[in-house]
Amino acid sequence: MNELEGVEVSEAQIAVHWREEEKFYPPAQFIAQANITDHEIYERFSLKNFPECYKEYADLLTWYQYWHTTLDTSDAPCWKWFVGGKINASYNCVDRHLPQYKNKAAIIHVPEPEDEPHVVLTYQELYVRVNEVAALLRDFAGVRAGDRVTLHLPMVPELPITMLACARLGAIHSVVFGGFSGKACGERIADSGSRVLITMDGYYRSRKLLDHKSKSDTALAVAKEEGQAVDKVLVWRRHRGTYVSPAPMVAGRDYLMEDVLGDYVGTRVDPVPMPAEAPLFLMYTSGTTGRPKGCQHSTGGYLAYAAGTSKYVQDIHPEDVYWCMADIGWITGHSYIVYGPLALAATTVMYEGVPTCTDAGRPWRIAERLAVNTFHTAPTTIRMLRKAGPEEPGKYSYQFKHMTTVGEPIEPEIWRWYYYVVGKGTAVIVDTWWQTETGGFLCSTMPAIQPMKPGSAGPGVPGIYPVIFDEDGSEVEIGSGRAGNICIRNPWPGAFQTIWGDRERYVSTYYAKYCRDRNSVDWRDWPYFAGDAATQSEDGYFRILGRVDDVINVAGHRLGTKELESASLDVSEVAEAAVVPVTDEIKGRVPDVYVSLRPGVEPSEAIGNAVAKSIETSIGKIARPKHVYIVPDMPKTRSGKIMRRVLAAISNGRDIGDVTTLANPEIVDEIRRMVQG
């Protein structure tokens, strides 16, 4: 089963479409400076050294107190790492670097308007600002260790500052992607039980100063409906001294950070030593059912894993200028803009806006000006930049040593443009496969050790033991060309601990499928089910084919089809809705929406627009459908199940297969004529 081909195409058939690519060897100048060049790392992280091998990652951090138990499995499959250890994430990303690096850039923020100056925060300046915000959160907003705080912020320096301030107090941040709607934010506030929301008046995107604050009013109304009261809304301003949102500040509830911070100038807050297994943050992600899942990540295990993989897979050194183009509102930004690079005392660049603003040369100008040497982005962005400016990178004199691709499979043709044109043939590429749930990378080549293979993520990273199971739980043979469900045999420190408030869903979604014994406390009985289809070739490299559940990967972001369908059903004329992925040149996949109307309602353009609008307000612009088709009826099985597979085949112009067993086979041709003309 796989979204690329639909349920009734066999996995073996899918696999044969994939051609083996030639290998590319890491450039010598990269190897000469790499953090890890010795194959022996796989020996150190072998299963016979598991779990103690992960001490190597934990030792990259500074602990108040060492742990007594590396991996506690007694509450399987809720794994606890480094139990007995005490640590603070904010201290590790900021304070401890001061003696050596206080005057070095920690964060460089690049505003979207090109004439607005960059903001450079040295480690010292970051330290001062994190302390002041932590003091405000503690003394003004009453935030304590263990409290959840929702951050609905765009790509501004205040976002990592606020995250680190929460971490300093041991409070659990829940960052909601800035592009998400007020409603989506409100649902996450309610689910996490946040009493404090931190937002911003506005931000730049596509040359427009967008209003953002208005979303907080919707968010609070939605949260309240779900029984969660928010008592303080703290509002950053994009431009000091001017408030750019039309939404009024509500007296006694909304406060400008700028105003309140005046009381905390120069205040220092001792970092709170937290148990290693205390949650550091929640990150919501989409799943099979409508309700987003709050992935709960730990402090010690997560930070150790983010730091370890940043050092070895991202090859980050303190002297590197590292730019990851993701948004901090997704897991990539948490692990590989904020926590990993800052734990290693690197300089991390964050960019506010769209990559092609105001033209396709923008990223390369930024890279040249800041001397970025390590670059990280997603296939959708690479496709977009290639389309808009295939020759642009060559016009600038930046020099990358290392580049990352993440979020979805990358077509070999796009990979080669990334390698030859963006990387100028001298940068190594890592194709990193992982998920919100996993905290850090699962599959990737080690950049100085193994060759790259376009379109293929590579083997498990050190300490990660992937395996492909078929539906019955038998291992799919390496090199067989057959696809199956990729799983991880062993726990690892970056893995999420549970779904916030829903352990049952955590167990059933990720561990039940291949669990050998529900009562076992031996980790060997609990393989992690990732929800992706994959093949493994002779050389041990994994090729990820896509999701096996009802999730669409749009431009590297996960959208649950159920969430889109339920937003469509909010339009009163709509009787039924089905959402399927359709291939898109730039974004990889985008949603196509099929709706049927209530009896007596005439189809109209207005209804189609209302469906698109409802999806946008319920989730955000990223979920905007490619098409909304109003169909006379849905293709259904005799038991009344909507055949999404048939709709997906129509949307993608693929062979529909045998539909004679449907309850209403005649509808298929009618829909096909409507869609394909």
Residue bearing tokens 């050190």: 462
Could you say which of 179, 287, 389, 409 contacts ligand WT7 (CB under 6 A)? Answer: 409
Name the residue nearer to ligand WT7 (CB basis): 407 or 620: 407
Q: Which two tokens stand for residue 344?
A: 């290693």
- Give the whole-angstrom CA distance, residue 648 versus residue 331: 29
* CB of 393 or CB of 556, closer to ligand WT7: 556
Of 447 and 546, which has the nearer Cβ to ligand WT7? 546
Task: Pull the structure tokens for residue 620.
Answer: 């955000």
Question: How far, in Å, CA of 554 to CA of 556, rounded?
Answer: 5
Cα dist from 44 to 50, 163, 341, 465, 623, whole Å: 9, 33, 23, 14, 43
Q: Give the residue, chosen from 296, 348, 432, 614, that forms a contact with ligand WT7 under the rule CB under 6 A.
A: 432
Return the half-sphere exposure (C-beta side, CA atoms, 13 A cut-off) of residue 204. 19
Q: Helix (H, G, I), strand (E, B), or coil: what is residue 247?
A: coil
Beta bridge partners of 110: 351
Look up residue 564 and give its two tokens: 């889109």
Instruction: Rule CB under 6 A: choose which of 123, 203, 322, 433 binds ligand WT7.
Output: 433
Q: Which listed range, 212-220, 385-393, 511-519, 544-552, lies at the site for ligand WT7 (CB under 6 A)?
A: 544-552
Helices (H), 226-378: 257-261, 300-312, 331-333, 340-343, 362-370
Q: What is the dihedral of CA 583, 587, 588, 590, to 10 degrees?
A: -40
Residue 251's contacts (CB-CB under 8 Å, 6 or more residues apart) are none
The one segment of 99-107, 421-429, 539-547, 607-615 that binds ligand WT7 by CB under 6 A = 539-547
Q: Does 547 bind ligand WT7 (CB under 6 A)?
A: yes
Per CB under 6 A, the segment of 8-16, 95-103, 545-553, 661-669 that binds ligand WT7 is 545-553
Report strand pairing: 196-200 vs 172-177.
unpaired
Does the CA dihedral 13-14-18-20 come out positive or negative? negative
Task: Rank residues 476 and 667 by Cβ distance to ligand WT7 and give the closer one.
Answer: 476
Q: Quick one: which segment of 212-220, 255-263, 425-433, 576-584 binds ligand WT7 (CB under 6 A)? A: 425-433
- For ligand WT7, the binding residue among 422, 544, 552, 590 (CB under 6 A) is 544
Per CB under 6 A, contacts with ligand WT7 among 3-22 are: none
Q: Which of residues 445-464 bind ligand WT7 (CB under 6 A)?
A: 457
CB of 581 to ligand WT7, least distance (A): 12
Task: Tell me the closest approach of the beta carbon of residue 223 to ligand WT7, in angstroms.
Answer: 23
Options 408, 550, 565, 592; binder of ligand WT7; rule CB under 6 A: 408
333 counts as binding ligand WT7 under rule CB under 6 A: no
Which DSSP state fits 570? Answer: T
Q: What is the DSSP letter of 54?
A: G
Would you say 321 or 457 has its CB closer to ligand WT7?
457
Sign of CA dihedral 6, 8, 11, 14: negative
Helical packing angle, 214-225 and 182-192, nearest 10°: 40
- Tell me how many residues contact ligand WT7 (CB under 6 A): 24
Candidates 431, 550, 565, 592: give the one binding ligand WT7 (CB under 6 A).
431
Q: Which stretch binds ligand WT7 (CB under 6 A): 349-357, 550-558, 599-607, 656-664?
A: 550-558
Q: How far apart are CA 208 and CA 474, in angstroms?
A: 53
Among 70, 199, 536, 553, binds ligand WT7 (CB under 6 A): 553
Of 36, 38, 37, the C-alpha closest to 57 is 36
List 162, 332, 485, 490, residue binding ligand WT7 (CB under 6 A): 332
Q: Which one of the spans 173-181, 212-220, 383-391, 555-563 is the region binding ligand WT7 (CB under 6 A)?
A: 555-563
Does the protein bind ligand WT7 through residue 141 (CB under 6 A)? no
- Bridge partner residues of 543 (DSSP): 535
Residue number of the CB atom closest to ligand WT7: 436
Give, as ranges, the residues between 302 and 331 that touch ligand WT7 (CB under 6 A). Answer: 331
> For residue 613, what are the CA distances in angstroms to 568, 579, 609, 610?
9, 15, 6, 5
State how far the Cα of 303 lies from the Cα of 440, in Å rounded to an integer: 10
Instruction: Give the x/- contact pattern for ligand WT7 in 274-293, rule: CB under 6 A.
Output: -----------x--------
Output the smallest distance, CB 355 to ligand WT7, in A. 16
Q: Note whether 558 binds ligand WT7 by CB under 6 A.
A: yes
What binding mask, one character per residue, do residues 67-106 give for ligand WT7 by CB under 6 A, x or -? ----------------------------------------
Residue 244 CA to residue 210 CA, distance in Å, equals 9
CB of 374 to ligand WT7, least distance (A): 17
Instruction: Name the minimum Å distance from CB 543 to ligand WT7.
Output: 8
Answer for the pair 554, 546: CB distance below 8 angstroms, yes or no.
no
542 binds ligand WT7 (CB under 6 A): no
Q: Which of these ranges, 38-46, 195-203, 549-557, 660-668, lies near ligand WT7 under the rule CB under 6 A? A: 549-557
Question: Does 436 interact with ligand WT7 (rule: CB under 6 A)?
Answer: yes
The residue (of 178 and 556) whose beta carbon lies closer to ligand WT7 is: 556
What element of type H or E holds 172? strand 172-177
What is each CA distance from 501 to 2, 182, 295, 455, in whole angstroms?
29, 22, 10, 37
Residue 340 to residue 348: CA distance in whole angstroms: 10
Residue with smaller CB distance to ligand WT7, 203 or 441: 441
Closest CB 324 distance from ligand WT7, rounded Å: 11
Q: Site for ligand WT7 (CB under 6 A): which residue of 72, 112, 147, 532?
A: 532
Which of 333, 340, 363, 407 forms a contact with ligand WT7 (CB under 6 A)?
Answer: 407
Task: Identify which of residues 168 and 453 has a Cβ nearer to ligand WT7 in the complex.
Answer: 453
Least distance from ligand WT7 to the Cβ atom of residue 73, Å = 25
Contact call for residue 392 and ligand WT7 (CB under 6 A): no
DSSP 203-222: EEETTEEEE-THHHHHHHHH
β-pair type (208-211, 202-205): antiparallel
Residue pair 156/109 in contact (Cβ under 8 Å)? The answer is yes
Q: Which stretch binds ligand WT7 (CB under 6 A): 227-235, 472-480, 525-533, 592-600?
A: 525-533
Which 3 state secondary structure label does DSSP give 291?
coil
Q: Which of 162, 62, 494, 79 is nearest to 299 (CA)?
A: 494
Q: Shortest CA distance to 298 belongs to which of 110, 167, 465?
A: 167
We find the least distance from the C-beta atom of residue 612 to ligand WT7, in angstroms, to be 22
How far is it, in rounded angstroms, from Cα 627 to Cα 352? 29
| Residue of 611, 609, 523, 605 whose CA lies nearest to 567 | 611
**Residue 348 found at the interface with ligand WT7 (CB under 6 A):** no
Q: In the complex with ligand WT7, which residue's Cβ is closer, 364 or 496?
A: 496
Does 127 participate in binding ligand WT7 (rule CB under 6 A)? no
As given in the structure block, the two tokens for residue 88 are 């603070």
Residues that bind ligand WT7 (CB under 6 A): 285, 331-332, 406-409, 431-436, 457, 530-532, 544, 546-547, 553, 556-558
